Every structure is written in C-alpha cells, then in structure tokens.
Amino acid sequence: MLYAKHAPGENLIVQGARVLDPGEAIDAVLDVRIDDGTIAELASRLDPNAHRVIDGTGLVLAPAFVDPHVHLRTPGREDEETIASGTRAAAAGGYCAILAMPNTDPVVDSSAVLGSLIEAAEAEAEVPVGFLASITKGQQGAELTEMAELADAGAAGFTDDGMPVVAPGLMRRALQYGAVTGRPLAVHCEEPTLSRGGQMHEGAVCAELGFAGYPSVAESVMVERDLSLAAYEQRPVHVLHVSARESVDAVRAAQAGGVGATAEVTPHHLCLTDDAVRSLDSNLKMNPPLRSSDDRSALVDALRDGTIQAVATDHAPHARHEKEVPFEAAPFGVTGLETSFAALYTHLVETGLVPLETLLERMTTGPAGIYGLPAPRVAVGERANLVLLDLRASRRVEADDFESRSVNSWLLGERLTGKVTTTIAAGRVVHAS
C-alpha cells in the first residue's frame, strides 16, 4: 500500500540521542544501530564500526511521522506539487509515510490512474507514499468506483475528500460495499447547502468582516449523518479534518456507542482560531475554516484524550498567483508538511496543552492505525523509520526554505521552536539539515 523509489537500506548509528518512543515505553539516552536499514541494536555506547555516524547529542530520536492526509496535486497540477517535491517536503517535515488524496485531475477513480501514480511513486518518491482512491466516479457523488479492483491495485483507502458524498443513500452503499475492500472509508463532512459560498467560520469575526459564513453546523450535521450510517451498517468510518466542537462530540459519542469511528485534525485548526482571519491573509483560507476558540479547545482536548487519533496536515499546495489575490478570490487550502511538528511543538507542547509523548503518538501510531499501516517503532527488527528532533532550535518560517513547490503556508514569518534535523524513512536518510 506504500510505494517509494527503491533504494538499499543504510548502515547507520545514531549516537547519544534521547530515544523517545511512548509506544515502546522507551525514554532513555541510547545509541541506535541500523544494519541495512533495519534497527539492529539499542544500547548505550555502541561501537560504530563502519556505520555512518549521526550525532544525536542533545536531540530526541523518535518514530518518524505518518501523514494520513496530503494533496500531491499529481496528476493535473504538477506546477503546484509533484510526487518528488511532495515527498521531499514530507522528508523535511519528519515523515516516513504519507497518504495522498484522490481529488486530482483526473480523479483517482480507476486502476489505470492509480497504477500510473504507483509507477511514478516507485520512480520518484523519496518517502513511501500511499494513494487513496475516490468513493464515487469523478467525485461526482453519483456512482461508486470499482472499489474492489482499486483495493487490489493498491488503494490505501477511499474518500471523496474535497467534497462530501451528498446523497445519504449513496453513502450507505459505499459503507456496505466498501466492506469487501478491507480498506478504510474516509469522509469529508460538509453539508453543501449550509456551507454554500462560505468563506470563513460563521461567527462574530465573520459578521464583522462581511464574509458569507461557513457555519460549524455545516460540518457537524454531516459528521452525525455519516456516524449514524456507520452505526447502522456496523462499519468503521474515518472523519477527515474535524474542526467543530459538535463534530468532536459526535465522534466521541459514536465511539462510546461502539462505532469504529476515527478522526483526524490539522495543525492549523489546533493552533489558530477564526480571529486570525482578520488579517485577510489568503493563507488563512482553508476548508473546513478556522473556527472559534471554543472549537479549538475542544479539538485540543480530543487530541489529548484520544477521541482524535491523528494529526493530519491536509497539505494543500496552491500556485502563488492563485493565492496572491483578495481573500474571497483565493482557493481553499494551506501547506503543512514541513511545519507541522514545529507548529504543534510551539503551540501545544511548549504551552503545556499537550504532552510531547501524546503529540508523537498522534503523529505516528495514531494515523498508521487508522489505515492499517505498520506503525513506526524504535524496536529491534523494525525497519528504521526515525526522526531526530532538536527541541531547542528555533527558526523563522521563510518562503525560500520550502521543499514543496508551493509556499502557501499559514506560518510565513512566524518563529517556531522544534526542528526536524534528520529523517530516516524505510531504512535510509531522506533528510538531513
């Protein structure tokens, strides 16, 4: 389900780092030896022999991250992102695996399109990448794709992300038929007659700025509907990019009721509120929109208590000229792969809202579990998927520093603490700074 260009595993030794893997209950200063890309030994003071030495002194060595929600814009908008640039961006952000959404041009709705993406990934992906296929043909919300064939061809899951499956009857069929694929169904929850024309969260800031509002209920009614259908069909469902307190409440209630419901949240929804939109910066325009501070605290609470299992960047690159317009004319979406850890470390961990261990879990095991991907672990015998983090380093986010082809980051100019210094994905170093 994950594809990358073939490269042999490296012989590495990471010396003197604080090894932190909450899942393995490790938090100790250790050396980690990697033979041919596989973790071979964890001990204090290992002999490097002929292995390449990476000095981890003063750094944290943790399982590398998994991003369950990325837009690679390929095929169709290679000017905004390619598999090569998007996976380089992922490497820079500390990711060892990412999942790409199917809302491309053409849509990933046939095994032919999926096959060409897998072929491209095997030629150019720096970091293993998986591809979701669409639930409906052309994401038109009318006919199911050939889900079984797509699953056999390697689809990591199914979603019409970017738009909802509007008709409840069709959503029900997707849940029913999707069972034969063994792959998760991920839903973009938006009731289009409630969100229509909406530019930002409906509330006091929106009232003042004059935008058409995109109310939180436009999301939560759809979350509630999809969870009801999932409960009725006794099928799991993954809720993409939740933004509203009511959505969180619905997910929590469904989980308590035995529904296999999972959810993800983006760094920008965890760090910002609709108040930020006062700047009218088009890099603060995304779907779903930034919501109220009450919504934000519900998201932070849900991330901490595990109602939300995963941080997902919803990395959405856009061409510079398409974002250099008045807010209303700009497309929805912001980038996130290269800034997610630093943003969350600065806004959630340093402020004491979320423990570092929890954040790491929600960026590794959490998202991997949703899609049945192997969880990155610091354990002997595991493929090396590791990230070295400098928790004291601070840097200003600059447009020139991105590996992504697009620079529509909501963090431009902001100073962040926490830096990914090295990423090891599938047994080899894919990023070092």
Partner 1 sequence: MAEIRVMRDDLLPPRSTERRHLLSITDLSRDDVERLLATARSFARSLEREMKKLPTLRGRTVVNVFYESSTRTSSSFELAAKRLSADTMSIKASGSAVDKGESLKDTALTLGAYDPDVIVIRHPQIGAAQFVARVTKAHVVNAGDGKHQHPTQALLDLYTLQEEFGRLDTLHVAIVGDVLHSRVARSLIQALALVDARVTVVGPPPLIPRGVEAMGCDVSTDIDAISAADVVYVLRMQQERMQEGANYVPSLREYTARWGITPERLRAGQKVMHPGPMNRGVEIDPRVADAADALIESQVRAGLVTRMAVLYDLLTTGPVGVKVQSLHEVA
- Residues found near partner 1 in the complex (CB under 8 A): 199, 202-211, 213, 215, 280-282, 321, 324-329, 399, 407, 412-413
Our answer to whether residue 295 is catalytic in this structure is no
206 or 337: whose CB is closer to partner 1?
Answer: 206
Give the nearest distance from C-beta 278 to partner 1 in angstroms.
Answer: 8
Give the nearest distance from C-beta 327 to partner 1 in angstroms.
Answer: 4
Give the nearest distance from C-beta 210 to partner 1 in angstroms.
Answer: 3
Give the nearest distance from C-beta 216 to partner 1 in angstroms.
Answer: 11
* Dihedral over Cα of 82, 87, 92, 93: its sign: positive
Catalytic residue among 160, 161, 314, 390: 314
10 or 322: whose CB is closer to partner 1?
Answer: 322
* Dihedral over Cα of 253, 173, 190, 243: its sign: positive
Inter-residue contact 227 to 259 (CB < 8 Å): yes
Give the nearest distance from C-beta 397 to partner 1 in angstroms.
Answer: 11
148 or 166: whose CB is closer to partner 1?
Answer: 166
Give the nearest distance from C-beta 67 to partner 1 in angstroms.
Answer: 25
The set of residues, in sequence order, having a beta carbon less than 8 Å from that of 310 and lying 6+ positions away, is 66, 68, 262, 263, 264, 265, 362, 363, 366, 367, 370
d(CA 73, CA 337): 14
Q: Which residues pair with 383 in a beta bridge?
A: 38
Give the nearest distance from C-beta 45 to partner 1 in angstroms.
Answer: 47
Residues in the chain: 433
160 or 338: whose CB is closer to partner 1?
Answer: 338
**Which single residue is written with the structure tokens 């806004």?**
347
47 or 208: whose CB is closer to partner 1?
Answer: 208
d(CA 197, CA 192): 9
Which pairing describes strands 26-35 and 38-43: parallel, antiparallel, or unpaired? antiparallel
Buried (b) or exposed (e) across 49-86, using 16+ Cβ within 10 A? eebeebebeebbbbbbbbbbbbbbbbbebeebbbbbbb
Closest Cα to residue 313, out of 126, 141, 93? 93
Alpha-carbon distances of 301 from 24, 308, 366, rounded to whole Å: 24, 9, 16
Give the nearest distance from C-beta 299 to partner 1 in angstroms.
Answer: 20
Q: Classify 261 as helix, strand or coil.
A: strand
Alpha-carbon distances of 193 from 16, 365, 367, rounded to whole Å: 56, 36, 31
d(CA 84, CA 126): 7
User: How crowded is residue 328: how many other Cβ atoms within 10 Å of its Cβ?
Assistant: 14
Alpha-carbon distances of 58 from 257, 354, 363, 367, 403, rounded to whole Å: 45, 22, 22, 28, 26
d(CA 22, CA 386): 13
212 or 256: whose CB is closer to partner 1?
Answer: 212
166 or 217: whose CB is closer to partner 1?
Answer: 217
123 or 207: whose CB is closer to partner 1?
Answer: 207
Which of the residues are catalytic?
A: 314
